[in-house]
Structure formats: C-alpha cells, structure tokens
C-alpha cells in the first residue's frame, strides 16, 4: 500500500520496507520481486495485500507492481493450504516483466463521493494496464433496424485488452491506498507517454 513519487532516485529499499510491512512472507515475496526486477532501479512501486475468505479459512494474496526505467514488473504471491502434489502449505509467486514500449494503455478510474461538493479525495480507484498479452472478445448477434427482417447479419463485438487490473478503496485498504495507486498510475503514464 505504500507508494513512491516520480523523482529519479532508486526506491529499492522503500519497496522492501513496504513488502516487510505487510507481514506476508516478506522474504519469499521480496525474493521473487528482486529476481524479476533484475537489478534495475526501482522508480515507483505499489504493494497491495488482499486477504480473502474461503469457507472457514483466510487466504492471503499480495500483488507488487514495480516501475523501472525500462519495464513494468508485476508479481503476485498466493497462499495455498496444500494439495495432492504438495501436501504442506505453500506459496506460489508469479512474475511478469513487460517492456514499457509494449504498454498500450494505462486506464485510471476514480470514484468520488459527493461530487456536487467539488473535487475531493477519491474513495476508490481502479488501475487497468494493457499491453496485448491478454485480450477478451465479447460477441453478440448483429441486427438491423427493420423489425420484420429475419436475415442473418452475423456478429458484432468488442475486443478489449485488460492484462492487469487492480481496484482499491479507502474502506477496504486504508486511507493511503487509493492515493498510492493513483500516484503509481501517474508515474507509469509519464514513463509510457513517449514509448
């Protein structure tokens, strides 16, 4: 939930502090993130800890997004109770590194309560980043305006790319979470505008 500003100093130590602050297997998470960052400077980051409830158990998830001078790095760590192959509890960490030149869109949605009172701190924010790795197509039958027409007009649809999406709120994630996500989005937008 901690964030960083957009000046050019390396924020690797701040990132490690933010990971430690979650208390969620910090050494395991940091190992995956450091490996994916590959020695590059950390320009900006966002750490999101999300517990979820599954029947009578709490499962934790941690997402770390890192901006380097050349790449966007995403790391996601999940907690598992164990299964047939690994009977003991374990974590899985997935990382992805995307060249900034590949980032096609940075979409930020801000939810403002009581907008008639003018600008205020957003209560929620959603950051969606697209680079073409995952696309979704929504199809529906096409038609025409003639109610008597029974011809087959084929299909119409929308192709949407949403490789990564993260929603945070003040109520669920704390007062600084929304501002932190928006600051990261601003830093990413600034770095991808000329890419």
User: Cα separations (Å) of 77 from 84, 104, 122, 185, 190?
Assistant: 20, 25, 27, 21, 27
16 and 51 in a single domain? The answer is yes
Residue 79, domain extent: 12-100+174-192
So what's the pLDDT on residue 3? 47
78 and 112 in a single domain? The answer is no
The residues, any chain, with a CB within 8 Å of residue 112's CB and separated by 6 or more, are: 119, 120, 122, 123
31 and 82 in a single domain? The answer is yes
Q: Are 79 and 62 in contact (CB under 8 A)?
A: no
96 and 30 in a single domain? The answer is yes
19 and 93 in a single domain? The answer is yes
113 and 88 in a single domain? The answer is no
Is residue 167 one of the residues assigned to a domain?
no
Torsion of CA 113, 119, 124, 130, to 10 degrees: 140
* Rounded Cα–Cα distance for residues 110 and 124 (Å): 6
* Rounded Cα–Cα distance for residues 133 and 85 (Å): 29
185 and 94 in a single domain? The answer is yes
Residues paired with 65 in a beta bridge: 46, 74
So what's the pLDDT on residue 2? 45
The separation between CA 10 and the C-alpha centre of its own chain, rounded to angstroms, equals 21
117 and 147 in a single domain? The answer is yes
Is residue 39 one of the residues assigned to a domain?
yes
Torsion of CA 100, 101, 102, 106, to 10 degrees: 60
Residue in the block written with tokens 């009172």: 117
Tokens of 46: 């966002």
120 and 30 in a single domain? The answer is no
So what's the pLDDT on residue 162? 60
So what's the pLDDT on residue 161? 59
Is residue 4 one of the residues assigned to a domain?
no
Q: pTM to 2 decimals?
A: 0.80
So what's the pLDDT on residue 52? 72
Is residue 7 one of the residues assigned to a domain?
no
Question: How many distinct structural domains can be found in the chain?
Answer: 2
Is residue 1 one of the residues assigned to a domain?
no
Is residue 120 one of the residues assigned to a domain?
yes
So what's the pLDDT on residue 55? 72
Is residue 40 one of the residues assigned to a domain?
yes
Give the strands of the sheet with 105-111, arranged side by side: 105-111, 124-130, 164-169
39 and 135 in a single domain? The answer is no
Series of mean pLDDT values for 10-residue runs along the chain (195 residues) = 59 96 94 96 95 73 96 94 83 94 93 87 93 72 85 76 85 92 95 74
93 and 16 in a single domain? The answer is yes
């Amino acid at each position: 939930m901690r964030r960083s500003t957009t000046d050019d100093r390396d924020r690797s130590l701040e990132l490690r502090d933010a990971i430690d602050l979650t208390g969620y297997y910090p050494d395991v998470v940091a190992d995956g993130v450091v490996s994916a960052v590959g020695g590059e400077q950390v320009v900006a980051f966002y750490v999101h800890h999300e517990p979820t409830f599954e029947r009578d158990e709490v499962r934790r998830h941690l997402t770390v997004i890192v901006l380097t001078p050349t790449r966007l790095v995403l790391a996601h760590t999940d907690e598992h109770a164990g299964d047939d192959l690994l009977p003991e509890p374990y974590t899985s960490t997935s990382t992805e590194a995307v060249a900034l030149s590949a980032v096609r869109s940075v979409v930020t949605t801000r939810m403002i309560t009581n907008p008639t009172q003018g600008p205020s701190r957003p209560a929620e924010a959603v950051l969606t980043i697209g680079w073409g790795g995952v696309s979704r197509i929504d199809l529906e039958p096409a038609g025409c305006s003639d109610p008597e027409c029974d011809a087959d007009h084929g299909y119409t649809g929308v192709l949407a790319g949403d490789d990564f999406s993260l929603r945070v709120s003040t109520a669920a994630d704390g007062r600084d979470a929304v501002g932190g996500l928006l600051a990261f989005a601003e830093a990413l937008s600034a770095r991808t505008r000329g890419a």
